[in-house]
Amino acid sequence: MTTDLAQRGSISEIVTAYNAAMTKTESAYALLAEAEAEFKAAFTITEKYDTDFGVLPGQHKNYNDNVGDHLKQVRDVIKRKAWRALYNSMEIDRIVSIKRRDEIAARLENGDLPEITVQTIFETFEALNQNINEFANESVIEVFNWLRPYTDGYEITRYKTNQKNAVFELGKKIIKTMMVDNKYGGGFHVNYYHEKYLVALDKVFHMLDGKNMMGNSYRSPLVDAINSSDGATVETDYFFCRMYQNCNLHIEFKRPDLVVEFNKICGGMNLKPKN
């Protein structure tokens, strides 16, 4: 995981610009506080006959609010958006699993985030780079656990293809149920609730091939191919897929070498019982 941002010089420039913009924001709110006080003074506002002269947009929704409280809220929102932009620039989503991605998103939304400084940004980059292999392995294992049906589940007991290709390690082909929906007028599109798994699958095979999926597709090449197709089959660099009216998706893996690497990370033959 490398970006132009991950340099102390670039980080320093970002922090300088962030602090300058935040100072302007604080100055603007200070002017609003002065304006509110002047309004109240001009109209002789007292506690007994209080009138809302809050000059901040939306302030009328809560009469206990004041400019200072709004400034704290705005600072927090700006900080969260800044950290989110930094994470996006790191392209961490192309590495991490669905679970870890959701954890990061939750922290960015509601967690206790550090102030934005050269040190905190650089430390975040360093921590991510140090754990990049762990993150990558997590993603592969997560996809493997999704592809590999439960030994007593419908996908393994119903389909001989899965019994042959997905009990202990990934084989040449696998069948996943309820992955696509029929489009009006013909063709198929990926089921909304299961789309994230196909994106994760595509991401993992790109990663194993040393390529970045995120720069050349809307969701992922596999998902985009299915959604844009008018037929029952699609093909990408890594997969040949056939869609069926019963919403099943048959996935054939075109790169046996990547499947071998995939199985090595996930355990593969090690999952077989010892004799």
Give Cβ neighbours of residue 169 (< 8 Å, ≥ 6 apart): 263, 266, 267, 268, 269, 271
Domain assignment of residue 51, yes or no: yes
Within this chain, do residues 75 and 186 fall inside the same structural domain, yes or no?
Answer: no
Within this chain, do residues 182 and 120 fall inside the same structural domain, yes or no?
Answer: no
Domain assignment of residue 146, yes or no: no
C-alpha 228/C-alpha 216 separation (Å) is: 15
Among residues 72, 95, 130, the one where a domain terminates is 130
Higher-scoring residue by pLDDT: 36, 176: 176
Locate 215 and state its tokens: 């720069």
For residue 266, name the pLDDT band (cuts at 50, 70, 90).
confident
pLDDT at 158 over 90: no
Domain assignment of residue 136, yes or no: no
- Return the H-helix or E-strand segment holding 13: helix 8-42
Tokens 């599109």, residue located = 189
For residue 194, name the pLDDT band (cuts at 50, 70, 90).
very high
Domain assignment of residue 1, yes or no: no
Angle CA(29)–CA(35)–CA(41) in degrees, nearest 5? 140
Quick check: helix, strand or coil at residue 2?
coil
Tally of domains in the chain: 2
Within this chain, do residues 82 and 158 fall inside the same structural domain, yes or no?
Answer: no
Domain assignment of residue 117, yes or no: yes
What is the b/e burial string over 33-69, where b = at least 16 CB atoms within 10 angstroms of the residue's CB? Answer: beebeeeeeeeebeeeeeeebbbbeebeeeeebebee
CB 204 within 8 A of CB 222: no
Tell me how far apart the terminal alpha carbons of the chain are, to the nearest angstrom.
Answer: 41
Instruction: Kindly calculate the radius of gyration of the chain based on its CA atoms and give it in whole angstroms.
Output: 26
Domain assignment of residue 138, yes or no: no
pLDDT tens digit string along 82-114? 999 988 888 888 889 999 999 999 999 998 999
Count of positions (residues) in the chain: 275
pTM as predicted: 0.77
pLDDT at 268 over 70: no
Within this chain, do residues 173 and 113 fall inside the same structural domain, yes or no?
Answer: no
Domain assignment of residue 212, yes or no: yes
Overall average pLDDT of the 125-154 stretch: 83
Q: 182: domain range? A: 151-271
For residue 60, name the pLDDT band (cuts at 50, 70, 90).
very low
Within this chain, do residues 212 and 104 fall inside the same structural domain, yes or no?
Answer: no
pLDDT tens digit string along 234-263? 999 999 999 999 999 999 999 999 999 999
Give Cβ neighbours of residue 107 (< 8 Å, ≥ 6 apart): 113
Q: Which of 193, 201, 179, 192 lies closest to 245, judged by CA?
A: 179
